[in-house]
Amino acid sequence: MLLWIVSLVLSAVVVFGIHIPRSDSTFQEPGYSTASSATYNGLSKVTWGLVLMWVTIGCVKGYGGQRMMRYTKVKAKKVVVRRPTLN
């Protein structure tokens, strides 16, 4: 469960980390120094790759889905998909 939370936080940092929210619900890209821009651009790709790696490994090894839902108080409903018939 901890790795899911870490991956969620890191993905949010990668997506929204460089932007500053404004009062009119839009984002502006402020002028950062060359060092901070280089650090973000260098680490964001590695971090995004690690997040996607954990999501893939976590789902393949069975650490997602119903097992993860046990930690939350949400009951998952079974979804029935019906194919349309040709008449």
Tell whether 84 is covered by a domain.
no
Q: Quote the distance between the C-alpha of residue 77 and its chain's center.
A: 23
For 9-61, what is each residue's pLDDT tens digit? 999 989 887 766 556 666 555 667 788 778 888 999 999 999 999 999 988 88
Tell whether 43 is covered by a domain.
yes
Tell whether 77 is covered by a domain.
no
Tell whether 83 is covered by a domain.
no
pTM score above 0.85: no
Tell whether 24 is covered by a domain.
yes
**Spatial separation of the C-alpha atoms in residues 77 and 71, rounded to whole Å:** 16
Residue 82 has pLDDT above 80, yes or no: no
Q: Give residue 47's pLDDT.
A: 95
What value does the mean pLDDT take over residues 68-81? 60
Tell whether 61 is covered by a domain.
yes
> Under 8 Å CB-to-CB from 50, ≥6 apart: which residues?
7, 10
Half-sphere exposure of residue 84: CA atoms within 13 angstroms, side-chain side: 2
Structural domain harbouring 61: 2-69
Tell whether 57 is covered by a domain.
yes
Tell whether 22 is covered by a domain.
yes
| Contact criterion met (CB below 8 Å) for 14 and 44 | yes
Q: Give residue 8's pLDDT.
A: 92
Number of domains within the chain: 1
